[in-house]
Structure formats: structure tokens, C-alpha cells
Structure 1
Amino acid sequence: MTSTPGPYGPEEHGSPALSPQAAAAEREIARVTEPARLLRMSDMVRMLLDEAQGTPLDDRARDQLKHIHLRAIEEIGESVAPELREELERLMPEEPAGLPSQAELRIMQGQLVGWLDGVFQGIKAGLALQQAGARPRLPEGRGHDLPDRPRGGSGPYL
């Protein structure tokens, strides 16, 4: 049985072949499985970092922040594809044996915020590539030969 090429080429199921840019964009966007959850976690982590920088933390507050940080990493890991989860685990520091200092907590939180920002930048780049690929291309020289607009139209802006 031979297949007849569709309008997009000899692809199976008649779907068009993705350009390398479009394929990269799709992969980048697909790396986040739960974007709303990831956004919520990112906002929380960023606010915790702001709080940790602005106020002195006693032992109990540092212990609480450490547990929140570790739980946030687990939650974020559940919201992303396995390769991002592995990257997150590799990049995050080992859990401190005792109670982390304020400086250690700020570093841990800052590192997590930076990693999340990188993930969001990847998503934005993927979306921009998708939009650029979906934008219709104008033929060469098109746009310069637009017809003249009538002068003195009916509205104040024409």
C-alpha cells in the first residue's frame, strides 16, 4: 500500500513537518506540565525571598522557611517534565544538616527564583518562536505598494 503525499508533503497523517525552530518551541513549552501551578509556586518563592531579605529570622522562622523551601522544590518538580525535575535536583544545594543561617536561606531561595525565571524565559522564547512561525510571510516588496488612503475622511483620525 502506498501513501499519497498530502498538501504538506509526504508526512504521515497529513500533518505538516515542523521547522527546527517550531520543534524547539514545542519542546520548550511542553517541559512545563502545569503552568498555573508553577506560576503560583514561583510567586510564593519570590515573596518568601523578599521576606527573608527584609526581616531577621529566629530559629523557628528559619526552620519553617527551610521546610517550605524543600516542599516548594517538590511541588515545582511535580509541575515540570522529568528533565527539568532532574536539573532542579542537581542545581539545588543539599539539604542543610542543621538549621540554615539567614544567608544560606537567602541563597537557597535566590537560586530557586533564578531557576524558575530561567524556565519562564524558556517558555517565553518558545511562545515567541511559535508566534513567529505562525505569522504569515509577506512577499518581497509587499507593503510598500499600498494604495493611497483617501484624504479628508469622515473621522477626525483619517
Structure 2
Amino acid sequence: MFGVQADEPRIRRSPAGLFVVDSGKEPDERAGQGRGDTTSPPRKEMWPAAELAAMARQDKLVRLATTVRHLCGELREMTLDDQARERLGTLYERISAEIADVLPPELRAELDALRPSLNGRPTHAELRIAHAQLLGWVEGLWHGVQVAMNLHRAGLAQQVRALRPRRPRPGDPAR
């Protein structure tokens, strides 16, 4: 119904998945194809497959972190026999591999350097330490993501304020 004017601020997603505010046409001019068409792009172009996959990876990371948190809680409360320790060691390795699969290479290398290998039947203390260490690392990663999101949100707010026309305050000289 209402087209987006070229001078109106628009919020769009960048290829990295971040929101960007701009006042002109997008660099690739997907929305208008350069023909003066100012309608918004079709819905499927708003969420490219790569961005949807990135969101799914983030969701998976949160689910895995929740699993590790519950395992840490269970490890504090239980007395484990040999088979249970072996099973939890295997589960630790599998969860660690799943987490590594959703990480970019530099974070994957950091995780691999941090996590110990649990071979055979680890002791109850080794399991608790390994799971707590993994949980601490994932929570640290999550806090880093939250800080980055807050900084990005503050940057967006600053971009929006810069794009809005400044209204004169009472007592300001006329321009």
C-alpha cells in the first residue's frame, strides 16, 4: 500500500545477520531492481537461507548449553557406577562435538584447546570438572553474544537518531 521513499530510514539485515539502518537503496538494489519500484522485497528475500541456518545454529547452541547445565546439576546429586561414568563421558564427547559443529573455526579451535578428552571410564570428579568447564565456556560465549547484541543495538539506535531530522528546540535560533 505505502511504498518506502528513498529518503526514509530503513532497517534491513546484513549478510552477517545484523540489523543495519540506511536511508538509501540497498547496495544490490534488490528491492527495486533499479526501475523506481519502491515496494518492499518479497518475504523470501528478507530471510535468506544462510541467515535462517545461522539462527538455527544459535538455537542449537542454546539447547546444548541447557543440556550441559542439566548434566552438571545431575552430576552434583548422583553417585555414578562405572557404566554411568562411561555413558556420561561418551555423552560429553558427543555434546562437545555438536557444539563444535555450530561454531566458526576460531571458536572451534578455542573449544578444542580448552576441553579435556575423557577416555575410558572417567572418575566422577573428572566428569564434573569437564562438564562444568564446558558449561562455563558456553555461558561465556553466550555473554559475549549478548554484549555484542547490546552494542549493536546501541549502534542501531545511534544510526536511527542520526537519520531523523532534528527538530528545533524552543529558544533555538531558526536556521
What range is the shorter-chain TM-score in?
Answer: 0.5 to 0.7
* TM value normalised by structure 1: 0.65
**Residue type of the alignment partner of 1:77:** A
Distance apart, 1:44 and its partner CA: 0.5
For residues 50 and 63 of structure 1, what CA distance do their matches in structure 2 show?
18
Return 37-46 or 87-96, whichever deviates more: 87-96
Tell me how far apart the structure 1 counterparts of residues 147 and 154 of structure 2 sit (CA, whole Å): 10
Residue 119 (1) aligns with residue 126 (2): no
* Distance (whole Å) between structure 2 residues aligned to residue 78 and residue 41 of structure 1: 12
Amino acid across the alignment from 1:132: A
Structure with more strand by fraction: 2
By how many angstroms is 1:127 displaced?
Answer: 0.5
Is 2:113 aligned against 1:95?
no
- Give the counterpart of 2:65 among 42, 46, 53: 42
Aligned length: 116
Alignment CA distance shift 1:32-1:114 (3 Å): farther
Percent identity, please.
Answer: 36
Q: Give the alignment's TM-score, normalised by structure 2.
A: 0.59
> Which residue is equivalent to 1:23?
none
Deviation at 1:95, TM superposition (A): 2.8
Q: 1:60 is aligned with what amino acid?
A: Q
Task: Report runs of 4+ in structure 1 exceeding 6 Å deviation.
Answer: none
RMSD value, Cα? 2.7
Structure with the bigger RCO (C-alpha within 8 Å, sep 6+) is 1
Q: How does 1:3-82 map to 2 (within 5 A)?
A: 13=27, 34-82=57-105
Unaligned runs of 5+ in 2: 1-6, 8-21, 29-53, 171-175
